[in-house]
Amino acid sequence: MIKVLHNPTSGSYNQLKQFILSRDFAWYWHSVSSFDCEKSGYVNIPFYAHTFLQKPECDEGLYSSPKSQLVNTASNVFQEILKHNKVSYNYFLRMGVNCVEPLPQRVKSVPHKDHMFDHSNILIYLNDSDGDTFVEGEKSKFKEDKAILFQGEHYHMTPSKKRRMVMVATFV
């Protein structure tokens, strides 16, 4: 189930968002979007990302690790939104920003879960684009500054004209 959260668009959120959308923000290329198996009707699309907090499955020590000087800023923004919506959480597992370029033909990304254990996802649409999100068959329409909360397998459509830029965090 997708729950739409109220994003209070605080000063810290707007400041981080403007920096992410600026030409000074560092993006890193990933040739595939998921390490899950290929599934018929879906494409393992390439994308750009900036990892604030790397998920525990990526390190041999099996713990999350900061990968950006912006990790505290991003954490504060996610916490503001979760607290504003009275969503309880213990700690973050992963935080980052993803950017998908439009493709000549719109396709579905590979369905996946961010972790192989129970967790929640918060996703914030950062720009005016498209590239709707689908969770367990339910659709969330892309809208700038919209924040959603969900659990379970999810995927998205590639955008048609503008880059699809989202902030995402997972937590327990």
Name the band, by pLDDT with cuts 50, 70 and 90, for residue 28.
Answer: very high
145 belongs to a structural domain? yes
pLDDT given for residue 62 in this prediction: 82
For the chain, what is the domain count?
1
pLDDT given for residue 14 in this prediction: 98
pLDDT at 35 over 70: no
98 belongs to a structural domain? yes
Residues 128, 162 contacting (CB under 8 angstroms): yes
The phi and psi torsions of 83 (rounded to 5 degrees) equal -65, -40
The pTM is what?
A: 0.93
167 belongs to a structural domain? yes
pLDDT at 33 over 70: no
Q: How many CB atoms lie within 10 A of CB 153?
A: 14
pLDDT given for residue 60 in this prediction: 67
pLDDT, tens digit, for every residue of 44-88?
888 999 999 999 987 666 889 999 999 999 999 999 999 999 999
Instruction: Find the angle CA(155)-CA(135)-CA(57) to the nearest 5 degrees.
Output: 60
49 belongs to a structural domain? no
pLDDT, tens digit, for every residue of 134-156?
999 899 999 999 999 999 999 99
pLDDT given for residue 2 in this prediction: 98
pLDDT, tens digit, for every residue of 94-135?
999 999 999 888 999 989 999 989 999 999 999 999 999 999
- What CATH number is attached to the domain comprising 125? 2.60.120.10
pLDDT given for residue 38 in this prediction: 63
**C-alpha to C-alpha distances, 54 to 40, 67, 71, 143, nearest whole angstrom:** 29, 6, 10, 26
42 belongs to a structural domain? no
pLDDT given for residue 145 in this prediction: 98
**C-alpha to C-alpha distances, 15 to 78, 102, 165, nearest whole angstrom:** 13, 26, 16
pLDDT at 36 over 60: no
Name the band, by pLDDT with cuts 50, 70 and 90, for residue 89.
Answer: very high
63 belongs to a structural domain? yes
Query: 141 lies in which domain range?
Result: 3-23+55-171
- List residues bridging with 100 in a β-sheet: 164
pLDDT given for residue 71 in this prediction: 98
* Burial category of 9 from C-beta neighbours within 10 Å (exposed 0-12, middle 13-18, buried 19 and up): middle
